[in-house]
Amino acid sequence: EAQVTQNPRYLITVTGKKLTVTCSQNMNHEYMSWYRQDPGLGLRQIYYSMNVEVTDKGDVPEGYKVSRKEKRNFPLILESPSPNQTSLYFCASSFSSSGYYGYTFGSGTRLTVV
């Protein structure tokens, strides 16, 4: 089954404790991206990747890191999480960055930083 797999689904952590949210796709998609969703603010892009070893900042990159060492994986790293990073996170992938192909979203990761 074609899918984007995010882990974990739920995570409660403490301020400052480094964490990684994994994202993996099995569709050989070139384009992958991370979004956060907050009440009243909607979905906002954090980082995106056009292909292996090619990443760039989205609208809200502060406090996050990403890497794209393999085509299928695009982990989101929070080096020192803070409470304002409490949010619902989505990873998505698409065949290309052109926008002419649909996006496949992961199931989401609900992160709480206390």
Partner 1 sequence: KNEVEQSPQNLTAQEGEFITINCSYSVGISALHWLQQHPGGGIVSLFMLSSGKKKHGRLIATINIQEKHSSLHITASHPRDSAVYICAVRRNKLVFGAGTILRVKS
Write out the residues near partner 1 by the rule CB under 8 A. Answer: 33, 42-45, 48, 58-59, 88, 90, 92, 98-105, 107-108, 110
CA distances from 51 to 31, 74, 86, 109 (A): 6, 10, 28, 23
Nearest CA to 49 out of 58, 40, 41 is that of: 58
Query: Which residue, 82 or 96, has its beta carbon nearer to partner 1?
Result: 96
User: Between 74 and 90, whose beta carbon lies closer to partner 1?
Assistant: 90
Query: Which residue, 2 or 14, has its beta carbon nearer to partner 1?
Result: 2
